[in-house]
Structure 1
Amino acid sequence: MSSVLGVSVGAGAVRIARPIAGDSAETAAFDVQAVPVGERRVDELTADVIGAVLAADSRISATAITYRDENHARAIRAELARRQFTNYELVPDVVAALEFLEYSGELQGFGTVALYDLGASGLSVTVVDTATRQVCFTERTSDISGDYLDSLIREQQIASGRIAHPPDHTGLAALDALCREAKEQLSTSNAVALPSTEGLVLLSQENFEALIMLAVESSARMTRDVILRSEQPVQAVALLGGCAQIPLVARVLRRWLGVPVTVPAAPDTVVTRGAALLARPVMARPAPAPFPAAHDSAPAAPAEPAQSWPSGHRVAVEKSGRRREISLAGVAVGALVVVAAIGITLGWGSQVLSHDSQRQDAVTSSVPVTTTRPAESTTVAPTTSDATNESLAAPQPHSYATTTTEAPPTTPGPNTITIIPGLPPVIVPTIPPLFPAPAAPQ
């Protein structure tokens, strides 16, 4: 008979959950074990625990491992690949927690909930939609944690004078473990007394709650802020993690949030048991297709209509394209010739044909030239050689003032001057004398 394995990877311990012999994962009855992390790396310890369980129980056909974030998953995946483990899947711890809480009926009737997970290394608050299992908002802090609460107990015991300060790191770690045990016992009792080599750890429930009140209220304030930032109608809060067993935590959250607060049985193993419920055997994947050879990568043949075109039609199309290019070139050359002829007519020819790149560009004439013709009158403004070059590249349109009647031809006279042969003569107007001639004597 096959079995499954659920693994949750925490900062303080690696927990595994297996269905009790003779039952399946759907019965929700599990054999849960925890392995403290200590000074070891979490990913290495996780691989060691999984390898030991698989070697001891050959019936396990599927393994599900939870992770907190992408960096956490990447480290676990790399270590398992180094050990050549393949028959496993990684699932988010939020999804695993929802899987077990929905199965156990803790969240029945709630659409949007907040998961308050207070563990050894920190607090995570996540707002999630139970129907779609989509995370709406999440936030994590290490300001409050199980280790921080343990340190509060340790400092209080040392300050009371009953416990001497440990002389080395080993003694300090042993005292922290003793304070952690006292915290866990206070979840079900009113007082605890634990002997140690450094003295007696003595703590009551009242003193413990007064000691951690500020930290718990700070966590409640953070939970409220996360719910407000998520902009979702949170209907309930579920407490997870080892510190969720502290009675003060649920009381403070109910007072601060005003919504139902549920604490499942053994909240520190909810994620582990949810992982066991999600464990599925990895299906055999098809072999990847072979990489195509060089001849397989040749372009495909054209469509059938393209193949039926005669080759002569292609040649005719190419020739037509060449003729179009030639005709366009001829039009461009003809435009340049016309522009040059206009420039020569207006007196620019000598400058255009003999323009020297080393000559300083200057104004060719400071006085406008006015030309009068029988049917048109054109006034040419002064220009420069740069303007001449631009007119050759893109000739500017000229405006002509046309008349409906033609003037009679001008007969040559004393005031008629021929400037350019072949063009109409220019009539120079007679300028009246500045001072009038004296009148003849009577």
Structure 2
Amino acid sequence: MSSVLGVSVGAGTVRLARPQHGGPHGVVPPYSFELQSIAMPEQQAEESAAEAIAGTLAGSPEVAATTITFRTDQQAKAVRAAMARRQLTNYQLIPEAVAAVHFAHATSDMREVSTLAVYDLGSSGLTVSVINARTSDVHQCERISDISGDYLDSLIREQQIASGRIAHPADPAGLAALDGLCRAAKEQLSHSNAVALPSEQGLVLLTQENFEALMMLAIESSARMARDVIIRAQHPVQAVLVIGGGARIPLIARVLERTIGVPVIVPPEPETALARGAALLARPAQVQQAPAAAPIPLGDNDDITPAWLTAPTRGRRPLRALTNRSHSRRELNVAVLTVSSLVVLAAIGLGLGYGPEVLESGSSSDGSQAVPASTPPRPSSADPTTTPVTTTEAEHAAVVAPPANQRPTEKTTEAPPPQGPNTFTVVPGLPPVVLPTLPPVVLPGFPPPGQ
């Protein structure tokens, strides 16, 4: 059975999540994951993530897709470069906010939530995002490093040293070990009221009351920062999702709900929420193939046709289509040139003043005279008092009828005049245009032509 892999790249930890499938003897609860955390220096986060992914894929060939979260575009570029160096290609990158929203939909009731605020308190800083819960569009996202998990651990360390029970470590290695011990004490306080952890420097003793008093100012400051981000986003939120390692502190949820005034969602194991959300979004890469081109229909007279002529080619049209298009384009060019030449010649003839002559010669070239229209009879100059002369129909017919011996003129066509050197036929069927011979131009200081 195929599986998928979700990966979140934090400042000091890379987390991997794989959904678990039900076995033959039982059913695994929904959204149950196999989790793995790898601690590494912040400067090698992307390389460590790519190395962990390569090792997981080599040991689990059933993994069909991988999704990796990123916080910034710079981190996304670094992840791509690290994956390319290991020749890993079947993966996708998604923003952390998108993975957080998808995980919230999968594990919480989000039917009444249209805009969600994500409070992500990690080891290196705090990120507050305002996201559209339905489209995963990010309205506002801000990050600060003044408040972080490491900062809260340093507060516990300094408080333990100031109490006199813990000696100050002498070297950086001892200081890092004491910080890890204070972090473990902080995490244990999420489900207990007091914790006591021995160390080489002494006993780390911490109660819930002392811890909350120590953390209150920093957590209240982070809650006000989250509220300001929501106000700047200009989108009222209906819930706040708290993730990251700092989400295990119960005081954070209480302060956020009191400051912002909306319900606060804290999922179990909040530090792995991004990796699990990425695993839920993992899909195998789909490679789409281009559809094959339809064969080219040939004519009935094409008895022998090469096979490569009808085969579809990439980026190249068949030879027959190119030939037909070139013929039609050549004919179109010839027609355009012919019409352009006729227009130019006609314009030259009209511009030189030979347009009327051409029109007159064209109208008289058929050998027939135009018959003027009958004019109305002029009024008689006789005295109006005299009686008008009337004519009978026979007399009128005799006056109007033409003489008997006169035959009607027949339309005769004359042969066109011979073509001279300056004679051009503009339109077939119309008389040619004769261009005049201009006299030579004699410039001052130059002999006349012919001398």
Deviation at 1:287, TM superposition (A): 8.1
| 1:25–1:327 CA distance, 2 compared to 1 (3 A) | farther
Aligned to 1:22: 22
Contact 1:19 1:25 in 2 (8 A): no
> Could you give the per-residue CA deviations for residues 164-211 of structure 1, whole angstroms, max 9, x where no partner exists?
221111111111111111111111111111111111111111111111
Amino acid at match of 1:41: Q
Q: What is residue 412 of structure 2 aligned with on the other side?
A: none
Q: Are the aligned partners of 1:25 and 1:276 in contact in 2 as well (CA < 8 Å)? A: no
Equivalent residue, structure 1, for 2:37: 34
The 1:324/1:78 distance shift into structure 2, 3 A limit, reads farther
Q: Write the distance in 1 (CA, Å) between the matches of 2:91 and 2:336.
A: 64
Give distance in 1, aligned partners of 2:336 and 2:85: 65
Q: 2:87 aligns with which of 84, 88, 104?
A: 84
- 2:225 aligned residue: 222
Q: 1:129 to 1:315 in 2, by over 3 A?
A: same
Q: Residue 2 of structure 1 aligns with which residue?
A: 2
SS in structure 1 opposite 2:192?
coil
Aligned to 2:283: 280
Q: Is the 8 A contact 2:257 2:264 kept in 1?
A: yes
- Which of 114, 120, 131 does residue 128 from structure 1 map onto? 131
1:105-184 correspondence runs (5 A): 105-184=108-187
Contact 2:70 2:96 in 1 (8 A): yes
Equivalent residues in 2 for 1:90-105 (5 A)? 90-105=93-108
> Which amino acid in structure 1 is aligned with residue 275 of structure 2?
T
Partner letter of residue 337 of structure 2?
R
1:211 aligned onto 2:245: no
Relative to structure 1, the CA distance from residue 266 to residue 314 in structure 2 (aligned partners, 3 Å threshold; closer, same or farther) is same
Aligned mate of 1:252, from 239, 255, 265: 255
| Cα distance change on mapping 1:79 and 1:105 into 2, 3 Å | same
Aligned ranges 1:288-327 → 2 under 5 Å: 301=325, 308-309=331-332, 311=334, 314=337, 317-318=340-341
User: Normalization by structure 1: what TM-score?
Assistant: 0.67
Aligned-residue offset at 1:249: 0.5
CA contact (8 A) 1:113 1:234 kept: yes
How far off its partner does 1:81 sit? Answer: 0.6
Q: How does 1:365-404 map to 2 (within 5 A)?
A: none
Residues 97/317 of structure 1: CA separation in 2 closer, same or farther (3 Å cut): same
Aligned with 2:93: secondary structure?
strand
Structure 2: gaps of 5 or more residues: 292-311, 352-451
RMSD: 3.2
- Secondary structure of the residue aligned to 1:233 is coil
How far 1:26 moved relative to its partner? 9.2
Q: Please report the TM-score for the alignment, with normalisation by the length of structure 2.
A: 0.66
Alignment of 1:231-270 (within 5 A): 231-270=234-273
Q: Check the 8 A contact 1:106/1:264 in 2, yes or no.
A: no
Please tell me whether the aligned partners of residues 139 and 233 of structure 2 are also in contact (alpha carbons under 8 angstroms). yes
User: Residue 108 of structure 1: CA displacement?
Assistant: 3.3
Cα distance, 1:241–1:290 mapped onto 2, change above 3 Å: farther
Aligned partners of 1:149 and 1:127: how far apart in 2? Answer: 24
For 1:202, which of 205, 210, 215 is the aligned residue? Answer: 205
Distance of 1:119 and 1:45 partners within structure 2: 18
Identity of matched residues, %: 53
* Superposed displacement of residue 105, structure 1: 2.3
Take 2:61 and 2:185, find their aligned partners in 1: how far apart are those partners?
38
What count of residue pairs does the alignment treat as equivalent? 328
Unaligned stretches of 5+ in structure 1? 329-442
SS in 2 for 1:85: coil
Residues 326, 205 of structure 1: alpha-carbon distance in 2 compared, 3 angstrom cutoff: farther
User: What is the CA distance between 1:20 and its match in structure 2?
Assistant: 2.4
Q: Give 2:51's aligned residue.
A: 48
Distance in 2 between the 1:300 and 1:122 partners? 68
Classify 1:48/1:308 alpha carbon distance in 2 versus 1 (closer, same or farther; 3 Å). closer
Question: Hey, what's the Cα distance between the residues in 1 that align with 2:347 and 2:222?
Answer: 80
Write the letter of the residue equivalent to 1:182.
A
Equivalent pair of 1:4/1:25 in contact (CA under 8 Å):
no
